Chain A
Amino acid sequence: MAITLKVNGKDYSTSLDPQTPLLWVLRDGFNLTGTKYGCGAGLCGACTVHLDGEAVRSCQTPVGSVGSRKVTTIEGLSADRTHPVQAAWIAEQVPQCGYCQSGQIMQAAAFLAGKPHPSSEEIDQAMSGNICRCGTYQRIRRAIQRAAGEAA
């Protein structure tokens, strides 16, 4: 029984088991590899995508539970890296290895959509579920402040 999904505005279908986490359906089923595996346990945030604009950990989201909610992945955040968060990430030169950054950006984008002018404490809290081992945290903070400032 195939499951159909709307991802980044396009229709996809998968015959993988409905219990399969959305992460693996995106990556192994649809070749949308921008969303990363980091821990498989909802501890690192590398797999963050949006369901109807809300940030979720796709490694903890069975594909069968998505339903009609619209899935947005890093590939669909903007067509040309012009989303304010992506632009801020470039301006602040955030990425090093870059592996966690899809998840960081998706988390930040959903966070800023709900809270356009966050305080430093709110940024710290919202972003502490996303791990970066290269240690780009200070630049992530600056990039979020920049994106918030430019949206003002």
Chain B
Amino acid sequence: MATGAQANTVGRRDFLKGGAALVLGFYLPSRSSRILAAQAAGSEAAGKIFKPNAWIRITPDNQITLLVEKPEMGQGPRTVIPMMLADELEADWSSIHVEQAPTIPEIYKGLSTGGSGAVEDTWDSMRKVGAQAREMLTVAAAEQWNVDRKECRAENGAVIHAPSGRRFTYGELVETASKLPEIKAESVPLKDPKNYRYIGKRVPRTDVPAKVDGSAAFGIDVRVPGMLYAVIARCPHFGGKLAAFDDKDAKAMPGVQAVFAVAPLGRPLNTAGGVAVVADSTWSAIQARKALKITWDKGPDGDETSAGLRKQIEQAAAGAPTFVAVNHGDALKAIEGAPKKVEASYELAFQAHATMEPMNTTVHVRDDGIEVWTPTQWADAIQGTVAQLSKVPPGKITVHMTLSGGSFGRRAQWDYAAEAWQVADQVRKPVQLLWTREDDIQHGFYRPYSHHHLSGGLDSQGNIVAWSHRIVSTPIRAYFDPPDSLKDPHHVAAQELGGADVLPYGVPNFRLDFAPVHSAVPRAWWRSVENSSTAFANGCFVDELARAAGRDPYQYQMELLDEQQRTLGAQNLAAVMWPDQPHLDPKRFQAVLKLAAGKSGWGKPLPAGRGRGIAAHYSFDSYVAHVAEVSVGKDGTVRVHRVVSAVDCGTAVNPDGVAAMTEGAVNYALTAVLTGEITIKDAAVEQSNFNDYQVLRLAQAPEIEVHIVPGGGKPSGMGEPGVPPLGPAVANAVFAATGVRVRRLPIDPGIFKDGHAQAG
């Protein structure tokens, strides 16, 4: 990682992890821990608090409180993180409570999540602190009884002296334990996995009760006495700006308190700027916004269209690359000389995140500081941003991280919080800025538009002799960083290739190159980032090669993975660039393929008109394979009947959570496969709501079966890895059902003509 020192060259994953360095928290100076514990518990009990570190506190009433840094946006950290603690602590599950950690940057380094990292990041630290606390409580009991520590054991929230049967609850031991010299976590052995009581079991989510009775409070539900409500009319043209506005009619509308211009904020916030309307209810603000008369300057890219972008992409696909990421052997020459040559181009549209809770933030700017309530993936970044904008020191800015109504990467941006501060700074009363659904669809940070040209050569036995992949895309970081960043190979490898450099198959000649195209459309991380695009290209192309070789796509992949095991790493750029990071293990890749194939009845007959497709992908250190079963209606509508998924994420800490994330990933991916598409005209988004940005609905949702590879060791991410292989599994199934290749997502029903003849 020679060039990894600069923030803008560190991979997304590394960057978020760097921000979320939980492990460091265990070496807190005790002063901060004591302050925090006192703050958390109230002054009267503060003297009796046992605090092995800043994250957990055990009180004399036998209650264990865990301060979780990871935001809750649907992925279940408030259940799975305490499970890991409870197991090592030998705690009674019902005694554990979770609170959101506050924004105190000196203590909590990363109130954030991303890269599917919530479980992986906390696995070691939660178990270690649990073991450490358990040991200190056990030693405290031995001391109180004046017996040998070896005669005592912890069990379900108590310490038991085995020979005499005496028992102390943890609460009863708090005072003694808090006076013991600290026992280092490193000196306490962790449990044998076979003795886990919670890890690996189906534990109900702690946040579910509040989510069925309306009491769960999201950002939009923040209510502060005297608060006002605001919306912003943003410049619809990306890169454009406000030219002039007339607010006479808007100001005359009932409930309107203020109307004013809001300046755009440049990189990295990327807000559009426009006109804010503040009123006594959200509805009044929305109505008054409609009454504004605004002239927009379309800006330098004001004539951008989707068709124009496609033309640019086609040129880049045919031209010279700006960066050759992998050049193992000589793929181009080998393809040229191969007895059989296969070529295909794949394309993926811009996608919106479309979280159910639209962006919003409530801010109160007071003389003594600023208070912010926000649904976010990254609270301390918002604190820092507001500090920068307001020139108020971070210590005087409190950020309350609320529940998030979905995120999928969108709330790793904090444009909306910056805007809310801009409005509140003018109003000086608590104000909630709400994005309407139209604002959300038209002012998002979209999954990049990408195009993938693949070519491959087969020898006379159908073996792959060469594989070449050209990625053309509207890169994410080019939107945030100076354009020169795209000249840095490390940067491009880290940010733009999205797993395409980790070709799982053993191929003697492999080339991957990249060419960016310009667009004014904002791009950012969308659930699984570029993995959803590259997996589509790779997962479809290997299926095309298998068919060209006259082989079964599942068997063909299994053999290519055997071959990869013989030649491991040769074409794996990631292995070269980050030798100390986990890498694709072909055996684990095979295991998910095999499990999905077996459970789906791969190779067994299906009803007429149906087809099966298989695809797998490795991302965020996890392996997921899907087998999709589809049919295509006379009108070209693709119906996905069933998806059988196999998952390997190391230790599945909460298997039901793993299943839920996988089901969610399948459904989320299906929107982008079947119907979702963001198109551009006049550098503006043409869609506006769920009528024209069509997302998956219940009647379209397939049956999903999730099978987990029984594994152990460090857990890896599950929020995202289920997304990438779904597109190719469906596309391959469509081919099996109809003989028609899907090479663009979302699927255009127009590709099926004349009742789509069966595959030959």
A interface residues (Cβ-Cβ under 8 A, vs B): 16-17, 20-21, 24, 27-29, 31-41, 43-44, 46, 73-75, 77-78, 81, 86, 89-90, 93-102, 105, 123-125, 127-141
Contact = CB atoms under 8 A, between A and B. Distances in A.
Contacts of B283: 16-17, 20-21, 24, 28
A97 B357 contact: yes
Given A33-B220, A128-B697, A137-B698, A38 B356 contact: yes
Nearest to B227: A28
Determine chain A's interface SS by DSSP, over half rule. Answer: loop
A133 B355 contact: yes
B474 interface: no
Given A96-B660, A128-B699, A37 B358 contact: yes
Closest 7 CB pairs of A and B: A34-B214, A135-B667, A99-B405, A98-B211, A97-B74, A74-B214, A96-B74
A17 B254 contact: yes
B247 interface: no
Contact of B691 (A28, A41, A96): A41
B436 interface: yes
Given A33-B214, A39-B690, 16 more contacts: A24-B281, A28-B281, A36-B220, A36-B357, A75-B214, A95-B74, A97-B406, A98-B207, A98-B216, A99-B357, A100-B356, A132-B698, A135-B696, A138-B663, A138-B703, A138-B704
B668 interface: yes
Contacts of A97: 72-74, 355-357, 403-407
Contact of B406 (A73, A99, A105, A140): A99
Contacts of A31: 223
Given A28-B282, A81-B209, A128 B663 contact: no
A106 to B, nearest CB: 9
A133 B213 contact: no
A93 B208 contact: yes
Given A29-B281, A75-B214, A138-B704, A127 B698 contact: yes
B16 interface: no
A36 B356 contact: yes
Contacts, number: 191
B437 A38 contact: yes
Contact of B666 (A16, A38, A98, A135): A135
A21 B431 CA distance: 21
Interface in B654-683: 656, 660, 663-668
B405 to A, nearest CB: 3
Contacts of A35: 214
A97 B410 CA distance: 14
B434 interface: yes
B211 A40 contact: no
A2 B506 CA distance: 74
A2 to B, nearest CB: 14
Most buried by B among A40, A95, A138: A138
Contact of A124 (B204, B286, B698): B698
A102 B214 contact: yes
Interface residues of B, number: 65
A92 B136 CA distance: 38
B212 A134 contact: no
11 contacts: A31-B223, A34-B215, A37-B358, A37-B434, A43-B691, A102-B214, A131-B690, A133-B355, A133-B668, A136-B660, A138-B701
Contact of A95 (B205, B220, B223, B697): B205
B102 interface: no
Contacts of B355: 97, 99, 133
Contact of B212 (A44, A46, A86): A86
B416 interface: no
Q: Which of B215, B217, B283 has the most CB of A within 10 A?
A: B283
A38 B354 CA distance: 10
A34 B213 contact: yes
Nearest to A125: B699
Given A39-B689, A41-B690, A135-B701, A93 B656 contact: yes
A38 B499 CA distance: 34
A13 B269 CA distance: 41
Contact of A90 (B209, B357, B696): B209
B213 A95 contact: no
Contacts of B216: 98
Contacts of A89: 208, 212
Contacts of B215: 34, 75
Contacts of B229: 28
Given A89-B212, A132-B356, A33 B437 contact: no
Contact of B356 (A46, A73, A123, A138): A46
A131 B210 CA distance: 20
B76 interface: yes
Contacts of B689: 39-41, 43
A40 B286 contact: yes
A54 B565 CA distance: 61
A59 B207 CA distance: 26
Given A93-B660, A96-B660, A138-B663, A37 B204 contact: no
Interface in B350-398: 354-358
Contact of B664 (A39, A46, A134): A134
B664 A136 contact: yes
Contacts of B701: 135, 137-138, 141
Contact of B223 (A33, A125, A127): A33
B168 interface: no
A101 B211 CA distance: 7
B241 to A, nearest CB: 26
Interface in B701-742: 701, 703-704
Contacts of B704: 138
B150 to A, nearest CB: 41
A133 B212 contact: no
Contacts of B214: 32-35, 73-75, 102
A33 to B, nearest CB: 4
Contacts of A90: 204, 208-209, 212
B85 interface: no
A102 B356 CA distance: 12
B648 to A, nearest CB: 21
A136 B663 CA distance: 7
B452 to A, nearest CB: 26
A32 B221 CA distance: 9
Contacts of A38: 356-358, 437
A31 B222 CA distance: 9
Given A41-B437, A97-B73, A97-B74, A74 B690 contact: no
B564 interface: no
Nearest to A28: B281
